[in-house]
Chain A
Amino acid sequence: MNVWPYNLFLACALVAALVLIRFVPGLRAPGKFLSGVPMAVTATIFLGALGVFSGILPQTGDPSAPWYYRITSTGIFAVSVVFFLLTLGLAALKRPFPKSLKKAGYLLNHAGLWIIVAGMTFGAGDIQRQKIELKKGVAIAQPDVPFEITLLDFELHEYPAKLMLFDHYSGVFVHPGDFSTELQAGKTISLMQWKIAVETVYPSASKSNKDYISDPSGKGGQAAYIKVHGKDISGETKLAAEGWVAQSGPGAMPKGVVAGRYMLAVSRSQPKLFRSVIEYRIANGPKTKSYIEVNKPLAAEGWDLYQSSYDSSMGKHSDVSVLDAVRDPWLPVVYTGIFILLAGMLHMFVFGSRASIKKGAA
């Protein structure tokens, strides 16, 4: 849907209407009524009441769903937003030229919120969002996105794996593993009647005959050498079992250590960090190498690229990485509003909420 530049025209028309209502002498009375507290409360409750629906019921983007499952795309929601912008805009124009810094709070708060809501509303149609599924070594170009991206590598770092314990006669988990059973070299873990000494830990390991060795590629599973001590019938502490416990890796099965009817094994670990090493090229320009990580997007040509997901069934062996490409040309407008509102809040913190409304108030 191409709304540009009609959304800009609409925004300008709204601003013009607000200025007219506020400053044309004949429109003073309706302007005052529309910008008053009763209208502010009505507009806020109107918009908020619709918000309650979308806060309770799961929302969908499907246009054929009943209206209460797609509140923000309904006509009544649009009406409530316009009403909100009308009364809030007129309120902001009530005190457009504060005489001193102390009296600027009212304008900052009302104008800041207005700019945010207006930027969100009129800019919504210009936001472009695309999922880009990258496969290692393949250059991907998508329509609208003005560059070509190649995934060079996908890196995933994990938190330490946890030791878990199950009864291998019945198959029942006795201990699913938690913070206290994280595998760290030099640590002693207490589980049931045992003290388990963790000797060596490899965050990435590969199998070599009966042993495990560190795998510098970073793609191997986690492995640890453990010694299980327990008390025998006479109360003496003895070595009950020892050996490698390991996650599965490329061409390797998971491995556990058996102690009596129990088996000690390693849980799957949580991802700590994942990122794509990519190379991108704008038009026929030179290739640029870069990283994209969660919370660390890459900005290029007006687009932002976000690390979204990967093939989680493959974990660190995933050679697929999914990016979100987003273009939001109205973002500077919304950010301007956010910073004005933040300034308004700082003003309220320093001077109090009444400073810019009441005469002579502290």
Chain B
Amino acid sequence: MMSANVWHVFEIVFWPVIGAWAAGLVLLAVNLLHKTRKSPLIANILLASGTLMLAAFIGYMWVQLERPPMRTLGETRLWYSALIPFCGLAVGMRWRFHWLNFYTVLTAALFLFINYLMPETHDRTLMPALQSPWFIPHVVVYMIGYALLGASSLAAFHSLLKTRKFAALDPGEGGFMAAHKLAELGFIFLTAGLLFGGLWAKTAWGHYWTWDPKETWALLTFFSYLVFFHLHFRSHGRTRGAYVFLAVSFIVLLLCWFGVNYLPAARSSVHTYQG
């Protein structure tokens, strides 16, 4: 059997994905600027097809590596790039807030581009601690959560830009409604990921919570979103403060996902699987 070079296939798949996304966004921009009432069907199909191509590549990678492609940061970025455009599409169709697609697809493209610039040697090995029925639910649930929460921050950012500085916010505005709903959904997945992680840690390392830096940051992310929900609840979504916390929360989330590796505490982390 010739060994298939996963990286080589990624280089080939990369361009059609980017191409479909770019074409979709251009078409969407034309559609939105003409303020047609019609749903941007062809643009949506293009965006979805680019994303499905990426999803198919992840499936191919899974088969070739003979393990779930969820071990390295680069691999989790791929999942994120495939999941976040779907959040944008869903919000566009549900709340007619099609602008979100620009943010979600550009974020996905940025992450994909980072992977393109940082080739990984796709390694088949999976250390014994990761060989568990918890591995897939823990990571998938987290990636869905991250994608929803990323989309939520982007939706809030867009609507905040459009609102005058001292005006009361309109919680019924599409962007804010989408931001809150996405944060709520994302938070559910985030919490499930955190709890699954605890249950897994118990079977793998003997304790559900060890104050490992990654765990600490996951808890801080959870806390940060908790604060957002409480502030949002109390202000009925009318003040900027709550949304500022939504932005802070996403920064904490990114610290948890990537930043931890650069902090002094990372020396003692068991959550490094770069090999």
Interface residues of A (CB under 8 A from B): 37-38, 40-41, 44-45, 47-48, 51-52, 54-59, 72, 120, 127, 129, 159-160, 178-180, 182, 184, 186-189, 270-274, 293-297, 304, 306, 324, 326, 328, 331, 334-335, 338, 341-342, 345, 348-349, 352-353, 357
Whether the pair B3, A55 counts as a contact (CB closer than 8 A) is no
As a 0/1 sequence over residues 103 to 123 of chain B, the CB contacts with chain A under 8 angstroms (1 = contact) are: 000000000000000000111
Interface stretch among B15-23, B78-86, B263-271? B263-271
> In the complex, what residue of chain B is closest to A274 when comparing beta carbons?
B128
Contacts of A180 in B (CB 8 A): 3, 5
Closest chain A CB from B137 CB (angstroms): 12
Say yes or no: A179-B219 contact (C-beta < 8 A), given A37-B230, A58-B264, A328-B207: no
The reply to whether the CB of B192 lies closer than 8 angstroms to some CB of chain A is: yes
Q: Does B1 contact A (CB under 8 A)?
A: yes
Which 6 pairs show the lowest CB-CB distances between chains A and B?
Answer: A294-B128, A55-B216, A326-B206, A178-B121, A270-B125, A48-B223
Q: Select from chain A the residue with minimum beta-carbon distance to B6.
A: A179
Query: Which of the 9-residue segments B41-49, B51-59, B89-97, B197-205 touches chain A?
Result: B197-205
Tell which of B129, B199, B206 touches A304, judged by Cβ atoms closer than 8 Å.
B206
- A sample of 18 more A-B contacts (CB under 8 A), given A72-B211, A273-B128, A293-B128, is A37-B230, A41-B230, A44-B226, A45-B223, A48-B227, A55-B213, A58-B268, A178-B121, A180-B3, A180-B5, A182-B3, A187-B1, A188-B2, A271-B127, A306-B206, A342-B192, A345-B192, A348-B187
**Which B residues, 144 to 170, have Cβ-Cβ distances below 8 Å to chain A?**
none
User: Does the CB pair A59–B206 fall under 8 Å?
Assistant: no
Chain A CB within 8 A of B99 CB = no
Which B257-275 residues have a C-beta within 8 angstroms of A?
260, 263-265, 267-268
B60 contacts partner chain A, Cβ-Cβ < 8 Å: no
Residues of A within 8 A of B226 (CB): 40, 44
Give bound CA distance, A335 to B198, whole Å.
10
Chain A residue with minimal CB distance to B233?
A37
The residues of B with any CB-CB pair to A shorter than 8 Å are 1-3, 5-6, 65, 121-129, 131-132, 184-185, 187-188, 191-192, 195, 198-199, 202-209, 211, 213, 216-217, 219-220, 223-224, 226-227, 229-231, 233-234, 260, 263-265, 267-268
CA distance A48 to B208 in the complex (A): 19
Q: Are B198 and A349 in contact (CB under 8 A)?
A: no
Majority secondary structure, B binding face? helix
In the bound complex, CA of A297 to CA of B132 (Å): 12
Instruction: Report A-chain residues with C-beta under 8 Å of the C-beta of B188.
Output: 345, 348-349
Whose C-beta in chain B lies nearest to the C-beta of A325? B206
- The listed residue with most A CB atoms (<10 A of its CB), out of B6, B124, B231, is B124
The 8 sampled A-B contact pairs (Cβ below 8 Å) are: A129-B207, A187-B2, A272-B128, A295-B204, A304-B206, A306-B204, A342-B192, A349-B188
**CB-CB < 8 A to A342: which residues of B?**
191-192, 195
A294:B220 contact, CB within 8 angstroms: no
Cβ–Cβ contact A345 & B191, under 8 A: yes
Q: Is the CB of A348 within 8 A of B184?
A: yes
Within the assembled complex, what's the spacing in Å between the Cα atoms of A219 and B10? Answer: 38
Separation of A45 and B188 alpha carbons in the complex (Å): 20
Q: Let me know if A159 and B216 touch, CB within 8 A.
A: no
A182–B268 touching, CB < 8 Å: no
Let me know if B227 and A59 touch, CB within 8 A. no
Residue pair B184, A273 in contact (C-beta under 8 Å)? no
Do B263 and A55 touch (CB < 8 A)? yes
Can you name the residue of chain B whose Cβ is closest to the Cβ of A91?
B230
* Complex contacts, A184 vs chain B, CB 8 Å: 1, 3
Whole-angstrom distance between the Cβ of A108 and the nearest chain B Cβ:
12
Residue of A nearest to B8 (CB): A180
Partner of B127, one of A44, A270, A352: A270
Q: Which residues of B contact A274 (CB under 8 A)?
A: 128
- CB pair A54–B233 under 8 Å, yes or no, is no
Given known pairs A52-B220, A179-B6, A189-B3, the reply for A353 and B229 (CB within 8 Å) is: yes
The CA of A54 and the CA of B5, in the complex, are separated in Å by 41
Taking a contact as CB atoms under 8 Å apart, the answer to whether B220 and A51 are in contact is yes
Residue of A nearest to B255 (CB): A55
Instruction: Give CA–CA (A331, B6) in the complex, Å.
Output: 43
- In the bound complex, what is the Cα–Cα distance between A335 and B185 (angstroms)? 23
Query: In the complex, which residues of chain B have a beta carbon less than 8 angstroms from the beta carbon of A357?
Result: 233
Contact of A59 among B126, B211, B229 (CB under 8 A): B211
